[in-house]
A and B are shown apart, each in its own frame.
Chain A
Amino acid sequence: MGPGGFSLIPLEGGPPEFGVSAFESRPLFPSQIWLESSGQQAAWTDVWVTNHIAQAVIGAALVIGFWLLVSRRPKIVPGKRQFVGEYLYEMIRNGVARSIIGPQYRRYLPYLLALFSFILVNNLFGQFFLFMFPTFSKIGFAWGLAAASWILYNGVGVKRYGLIKYFSKMTMPHGVPKPLLILVAPLEFISNFLVRPLTLGLRLFANLFAGHLVIMVFVVGGSWLLWSTKASSPDYSPIWNLAGGLSLLMSLAVFAIELLVGCLQAYIFTVLTAQYVSSSLAEEH
């Protein structure tokens, strides 16, 4: 950049890997170590018992444990433990389920609660030591929940109106002039049956994927810059160390934003699912 080969962007000298490859799962028990005989063939544990599967299991266990703990031996006048549980419970019950779905909210409350708490805990893993990885930045988990919500809101509609009536309700909005339906019906179909689950899964995945990527750039890149020396690169400059320190400081702000994003995405996924269920249940207007 400047005179004397001065550079702000260290591309040589082996900076650490923090691209998409950092999102790859690692087997918890690599088969090469204890399965010599399997040779090149990867054992099933390499795929089914990975660090990310393990943290999803731990997340689910935490969620179940938390809810069982706060709902254990409930009292009419709640203690501290029960109060925390009721606070979170009522946030979804009154703030999401009842206000969006209406009087029949009770049936869908368990689903929404499970959705919110499972996503929230796994998102917070992104900022939590031991894990430092948001589970839903692995898109398989996000697709799974999106599929579950897709099945739920369509199943609710089909059960309520029957297959044909539900389908026509969702594709042909009431009050649209007949000739326009040629245009509107395919759009409604795409919007209600394809775009909804795709955006549901992609939104969750992309927010956490990008968030984790940004955190890695700031933390891993920053620390590499901070500790890089003359030996690691021929055109070393002390500005690298300065930039590294600054980016580590900045990472604190990024962590804070990621905490917010993690909570927000859990909430949005839950609210949208409730919204879709409500639209499936709604009478034609």
Chain B
Amino acid sequence: MYPLESAGPLGPLLPEHLSELVVGLILFALIWLIMAKKVVPGFERTYQQRDDAIRGGIERAERAQTEAEAALAQYNAQLAGAEQEASQIRDQARAASAQVQAEARLKAEAEADRVLAGARTQLEADRAHAMSELRGQIGGLATDLAGKILGEVLTEDERARRTVDRFIADLETTS
């Protein structure tokens, strides 16, 4: 055993060896240095990164939400546009069909008119033809008849024709 260097009135209140104080301070300074240079900056950097990551995550979520909202609005707008377009197409189709119908009716009416007119002219022509034919035949018949009745042959053409004509004219006015 070695005697206490500090053996005096203060007893254990003074360091036994100065080495305690010196070595203690050196060790403490060493720990302090490593704390200041390595440990504390390391932890603080991690906290900063964590903070940024959390804040960045919130920002990302907010951005995603606004994007989703924009997409929803776009879809809604597209949907409304499509509905409008469909109703437009429907209206157009309705209008087109009405037009087609009207055109067909017009065409049919025109056709009918034409057919009617054709028939009427045909009829007229037939009638005129029949008339002129009849006129000839009736003339002959009448003269024959008249000749038979009168007993004389109405051979005199000029007179016969006049008679026939008068007869026919009478016939026409009565008919």
Contacts and interface: CB of A to CB of B under 8 A. Distances in A.
Contacts of A150: none
Interface stretch (B6-14, B63-71, B133-141): B6-14
Contact of A143 (B21, B29, B39, B49): B21
Interface string A64-97: 1001100100111010001001100100010000
A25 interface: yes
Nearest to A63: B31
Nearest to B50: A76
Contact of A148 (B2, B11, B25, B49): B25
Contacts of B13: 139, 202, 205
Contacts, number: 133
B1 A138 contact: no
Interface string B1-38: 11011000001111111111111110111111011101
Given A46-B2, A74-B42, A74-B46, A140 B35 contact: no
A114 B43 contact: no
Contacts of B25: 144-145, 147-148
Contacts of B94: none
A53 interface: yes
Given A76-B49, A140-B18, A24 B28 contact: no
A259 B49 CA distance: 37
A20 interface: yes
B44 interface: yes
Contacts of B36: 110-111
A59 B43 CA distance: 22
B53 interface: yes
B86 interface: no
A209 B12 contact: yes
A143 B15 contact: yes
Interface of A: 20-21, 23-25, 27, 42, 46-48, 50, 52-53, 56-57, 59-60, 63-64, 67-68, 71, 74-76, 78, 82, 85-86, 89, 93, 106, 109-111, 113-115, 117-118, 138-141, 143-145, 147-148, 202, 205, 209
Given A46-B2, A53-B23, A144-B28, 8 more contacts: A47-B17, A76-B53, A89-B43, A113-B40, A118-B31, A140-B20, A140-B21, A143-B15
26 contacts: A24-B16, A48-B23, A53-B19, A53-B23, A56-B20, A57-B27, A60-B30, A64-B30, A64-B34, A67-B35, A67-B38, A71-B38, A76-B46, A85-B43, A89-B43, A110-B36, A111-B36, A113-B39, A114-B32, A118-B31, A138-B15, A141-B20, A144-B25, A145-B24, A148-B28, A209-B12
